[in-house]
Amino acid sequence: MINRRGALKAILTNSAILGMMALIPRISLAAWNTQAFSAEDQDTVINTLYDDIPTDSAHINLKAPDIAENGAVVPITVHTTLPDVKSISVVVAKNPLPLAAQFMIPKGTQAGVSCRIRMGETSQVTAVVETATGNFSSSKEVKVTIGGCGG
């Protein structure tokens, strides 16, 4: 009879599975834009990621709380009806490192993402959607009461 420990031991000792697990971080970091994620202001993030300045769009639905009681876990949801979306980025203007998240959207899929971000203080949160025809954005101010990036 196989128990949970026995099954886990069999899985972890299989070298093929361990080899595949070693490749996962390399695959997931392949498109990592270190310059954008280490930028210290919103303008540098936008200039690093995009060729032109995003224009405001009513076709982007950015959901974020008006007041985040805990800045360490602020839920963000971005959906758009724009066609041919390539990526969705979430930028927090007053964070020490403003680029909170960037999602690459596979061709032919619905463009919608959800995540939890950290916010150091009350700030403008901007969702930037890159499409085949240009870059578009939507912003919302989120008030932070406690916690976050700064402590």
pLDDT tens digits for 28-53?
A: 555 567 888 888 999 899 998 998 89
Structure token digits, residue 68: 């985040």
Helix, strand or coil, per DSSP, at residue 130: strand
Closest CA to 79 of 134, 141, 127, 126: 127
Sequential DSSP letters for 69-116: S-TTSEEEEEEE--SSEEEEEEEETTSSS-EEEEEEPPTTS--EEEEE
Closest CA to 117 of 78, 75, 63: 75
**Residue 147 region by backbone torsions, left for phi larger than 0, else alpha for psi between -120 and 50, else beta:** left
| pLDDT, position 85 | 96
* Summary mean pLDDT of the chain: 85
Query: For the sheet containing 60-63, what is the strand order?
Result: 60-63, 74-80, 112-117
Task: Give the residues of the chain that fall short of pLDDT 50.
Answer: 151
* The model scores a pTM over 0.95: no
Sequence spans of domains, the chain: 1-30, 33-144
Instruction: Give the relative orientation of helices 4-13 and 15-28 as an angle to the nearest 10 degrees.
Output: 70
33-144 placed in CATH 2.60.40.2470: yes
| pLDDT, position 108 | 87
| pLDDT, position 17 | 53
Structure token digits, residue 41: 């202001």
